[in-house]
């Protein structure tokens, strides 16, 4: 994980900014269908923090709820910013590409590889999870 003291990022146009003051607890790739549709990319990458460690600024921050998942984005430029999931508590996962210094956040595993597109080849030795890589408080791995 990155040793940066303040982790910052934002949208493409600058209308939404965020900052976290703690080390990320999670950096991963996600291959699920929902993340593909939300990002428009064949695979997504996220940097996770506890929600109380994060400050979000910007009047143009918009949200879209899809079941237990809430995705935030800039309503001006459309950049995806983050997601939260009611099933896993007070955590927020920022798009790795929305970080000001994305090269500092190297993913440590893949999740939902059962949904990985057949043409996506990522020849790394990272652990691969068939479903989620984030433990659920209720013990499920949905």
Percentage above 90 pLDDT, the chain: 84
Q: Helix, strand or coil for residue 80? A: strand
Task: Say how many Å lie between the first and final Cα of the chain, rounded.
Answer: 25
Residue the block writes with tokens 């976290």: 20
* Mean pLDDT confidence for 30-58: 95
The answer to whether 95 touches 35, Cβ cutoff 8 Å, is no
Tell me the pTM. Answer: 0.89
The stretch 42-51 carries a mean pLDDT of: 96
DSSP one-letter string for 54-72:
EEEE-TTEEEEEETTEEEE
- Residue 41, pLDDT score: 96
- Over pLDDT 70: what percentage of the chain? 89
For the cut 80, the answer to whether the pLDDT of residue 133 exceeds it is no
For residues 119 and 27, what is the distance between their CA atoms, to the nearest angstrom? 23
Q: Which residue has the tokens 């939404």?
A: 16
Strands 26-30 and 44-50: antiparallel
From 120, 33, 20, 16, select the one nearest 69 (Cα to Cα): 33
């Amino acid at each position: 994980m990155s040793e940066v003291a303040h982790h910052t990022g934002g949208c493409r146009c600058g209308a939404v900014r965020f900052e976290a003051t703690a080390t990320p607890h999670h950096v991963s790739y996600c291959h699920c269908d929902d993340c593909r549709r939300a990002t428009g990319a064949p695979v997504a990458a996220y940097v996770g923090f506890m929600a109380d460690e994060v400050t979000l600024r910007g009047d143009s921050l918009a949200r879209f709820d899809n079941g237990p998942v809430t995705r935030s984005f800039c309503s001006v430029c459309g950049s995806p910013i983050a997601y939260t999931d009611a099933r896993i508590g007070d955590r927020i996962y920022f798009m790795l590409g929305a970080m000001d210094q994305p090269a500092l956040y190297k993913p440590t595993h893949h999740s939902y590889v059962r949904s990985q597109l057949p043409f996506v080849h990522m020849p790394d030795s990272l652990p691969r999870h068939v479903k989620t890589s984030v433990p659920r408080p209720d013990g499920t791995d949905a």
